[in-house]
């Protein structure tokens, strides 16, 4: 039987480790679908929205480190991929997207569903081409696969429907791609200079990012040698926090005062494998050293004393023999003491639990942390859910967490949980969704049901866009159009064949979550949390304090005094610390 280009595509994807294609089939993509059915090495995952497919592929690639694939049919189908592809690309996830198109003979003729895929995907990919002949296709495909694997990002192949059904042409290009497994270390002179700086200063803080993923023991060893507190980014929390006696939490918008002050009170800040985007939280009067495997990132967030190119594990191993172990741990103990105080303050929201329909989200997240297994995969929506996850979920050696940490999109948790559950069927997967986020992706609850994925979907149902509400308040604006009139999520899930619960009583939270987590199949739990629960950043400046006060005043003038009282009552501890 004649081999078609679509068959050639699937054969190459399978040989390069792709396990599944997340897509909605249709028109120009049908030949690829048929090739999957015949080949049987790759599973076609029928998502309800292509954006979900792109997020799921990105999640799979981030968790496994292997190539993942999504696809979209002509025009609107592949346009829907773009938000998930942006997230995958900014997360350095090796994803190949198949963007099928209308027939190649109609290019440039304003044909039905015509798009310019080169322009469309150019900003969220490393390789982005359209094949138009069978002779081109195998070499283009190999280039796309090799680029995704070697550069750790998104590549896109435009595949016209007529080309997919055309007879394939053999190519001299190799089908298997070549993985990268190299180490990079700064030269000896750079290491000696860095060692001299670290040896001559006592107040040193380590700020760790996802680049420390495979260097946990080295980071802890360095901390012990330098008597340095360890601050980390949200994305690296699960990689750094566990078995780490010197961690003092996060900084940034979701962070804690202990993380912030550990960085600002240091003499030297050593940034390890992080491209932390919030430069406003970086200190100005501290010597900053940055080490990153990608040299283009050095110095783009802050003025550096030194910038070194290297992977963290190899660099630290080479640095250790040049360091002097410090005896003075006064700076470290000061920051650890502050961290203990912060954790004690946060625990008050756990102990009080909340009231009917006003359950403290902090308490809910603490219960999830307690009940979840030590190998759970958490996916967290952007917004307030992300805040509670950052502060109340604790790392173990084998837990993982995914979010839209760089792209910052809403509605990522449910789609990412699908990719996680398919990639790791024997691990517990918990999707932590805001009501705003899940409202955008309700259709793909049916994907979870169809494939019987045992995902536990927890909806923090605060009937509001909580993070947006907070943003408006600190800008001195009364919140407007942030309220959510939600469906009954329990009934929606039940209609899709998913076991579900609604919790309005704080005393029912733990027993309901335990029943849900013990269930064998997918479960949705809608928990009515307090819409006035705020998550203050570690430092609130004078302008933000005035803005918050102004917004409260405007609410009162407009007859919303009760909301002001509810906000103050729900957040008295945070407000007490600020004022």
What are the residue ranges spanned by the domains of the chain?
A: 5-164, 188-337, 353-578
Q: How far apart are CA 266 and CA 228, in angstroms?
A: 9
Q: How far apart are CA 523 and CA 282, in angstroms?
A: 41
Q: Strands 354-355 and 358-359: what pairing?
A: antiparallel
∠ CA(375), CA(400), CA(488), 5° rounding? 90
Q: Cβ distance 537 to 368 under 8 Å? A: no
Cα–Cα distance list, 243 to 258, 341, 385, 394, 397 (Å) = 18, 20, 25, 11, 8
pLDDT tens track for 441-458: 999 999 999 999 999 999
- Quick one: pLDDT at residue 533? 80
CATH number of 188-337: 3.40.50.1220
CATH number of 353-578: 3.40.50.970
- Quick one: pLDDT at residue 1? 57
Q: Cβ distance 169 to 234 under 8 Å? A: no
- Quick one: pLDDT at residue 559? 57
> Per-10-residue mean pLDDT for the chain, 579 residues long?
89 96 92 96 98 98 97 95 98 97 80 88 97 94 95 96 93 72 90 98 97 96 98 95 96 86 96 90 94 94 95 97 97 96 86 92 96 98 90 95 93 98 98 95 97 98 73 67 86 98 98 98 96 66 46 47 52 46
Residues constituting the chain: 579
Q: How far apart are CA 524 and CA 527, in angstroms?
A: 10
Architecture of the domain defined by 5-164? 3-Layer(aba) Sandwich (3.40)
| Total-model pTM | 0.90
Find the helix packing angle between 5-15 and 30-39, rounded to 10°.
Answer: 50
- Quick one: pLDDT at residue 228? 98
The continuous run of DSSP H or E covering 155 comes out as: strand 154-160
Q: Which of 119, 121, 100, 103 is nearest to 111 (CA)?
A: 103
Sign of CA dihedral 11, 12, 13, 16: positive
Tell the burial category of 249 from Cβ atoms under 10 Å away from its Cβ (0-12, 13-18, 19+).
Answer: buried
Q: Do domains 5-164 and 353-578 have the same CATH topology?
A: yes
């Amino acid at each position: 039987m004649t081999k078609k280009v679509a068959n050639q595509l699937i054969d190459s994807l399978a040989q390069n480790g792709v396990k599944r294609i997340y897509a909605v089939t249709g028109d120009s993509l049908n030949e690829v679908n048929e090739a999957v059915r015949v080949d049987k090495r790759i599973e076609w995952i029928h998502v309800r929205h292509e954006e979900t497919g792109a997020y799921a592929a990105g999640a799979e690639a981030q968790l496994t480190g292997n190539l993942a694939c999504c696809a979209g049919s002509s025009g609107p189908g592949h346009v829907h991929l773009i938000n998930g592809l942006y997230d995958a690309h900014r997360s350095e996830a090796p994803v190949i997207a198949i963007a099928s198109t209308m027939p190649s003979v109609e290019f440039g003729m304003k044909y039905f569903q015509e798009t310019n895929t080169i322009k469309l995907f150019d900003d969220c990919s490393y390789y982005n081409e359209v094949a138009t002949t069978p002779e081109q296709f195998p070499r283009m495909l190999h280039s796309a696969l090799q680029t995704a694997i070697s550069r750790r990002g998104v590549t896109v192949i435009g595949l016209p429907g007529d080309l997919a059904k055309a007879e394939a042409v053999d190519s001299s290009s190799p089908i298997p791609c070549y993985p990268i497994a190299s180490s990079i270390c700064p030269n000896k002179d750079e290491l000696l200079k860095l060692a001299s700086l670290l040896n001559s200063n006592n107040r040193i803080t380590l700020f760790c990012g996802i680049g420390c993923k495979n260097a946990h023991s080295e980071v802890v060893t360095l901390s012990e040698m330098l008597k340095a507190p360890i601050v980390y980014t949200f994305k690296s929390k699960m990689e750094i926090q566990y078995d780490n006696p010197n961690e003092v939490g996060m900084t940034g918008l979701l962070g804690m005062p202990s993380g912030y002050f550990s960085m600002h009170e240091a003499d030297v800040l050593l940034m390890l494998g992080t491209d932390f985007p919030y430069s406003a939280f970086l200190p100005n009067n501290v010597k900053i050293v940055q080490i990153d495997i990608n040299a283009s990132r050095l110095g783009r967030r802050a003025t550096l004393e030194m910038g070194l190119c290297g992977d963290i594990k190899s660099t630290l191993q080479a640095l250790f023999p040049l360091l002097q172990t410090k005896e003075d741990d006064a700076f470290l103990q000061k920051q650890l003491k502050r961290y203990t105080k912060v954790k004690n303050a946060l625990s008050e929201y756990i102990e009080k639990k909340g009231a009917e329909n006003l359950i403290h989200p902090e308490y809910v997240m603490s219960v999830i942390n307690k009940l979840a297994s030590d190998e759970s995969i958490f996916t967290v929506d952007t917004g307030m859910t992300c805040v509670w996850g950052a502060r109340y979920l604790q790392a173990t050696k084998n837990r993982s967490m995914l979010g839209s940490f760089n792209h910052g999109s809403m509605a990522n948790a449910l789609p990412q949980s699908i990719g996680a559950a398919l990639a790791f069927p024997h691990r517990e997967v918990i999707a932590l969704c805001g009501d705003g986020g899940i409202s955008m992706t309700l259709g793909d609850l049916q994907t979870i049901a169809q494939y019987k994925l045992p995902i536990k979907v927890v909806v923090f149902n605060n009937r509001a866009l909580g993070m947006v509400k907070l943003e408006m308040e600190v800008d001195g604006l009364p919140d407007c159009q942030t309220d959510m009139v939600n469906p009954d999520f329990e009934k929606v899930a039940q209609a899709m064949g998913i076991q579900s619960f609604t919790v309005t009583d704080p005393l029912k939270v733990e027993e309901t979550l335990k029943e849900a987590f013990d269930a064998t199949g997918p479960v949705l739990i809608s928990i009515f949390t307090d819409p006035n629960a705020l998550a203050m950043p570690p430092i609130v400046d004078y302008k933000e304090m005035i803005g918050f006060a102004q917004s409260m005043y405007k609410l009162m003038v407009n007859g919303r005094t009760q909301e002001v009282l509810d906000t103050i009552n729900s957040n008295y501890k945070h407000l007490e610390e600020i004022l």
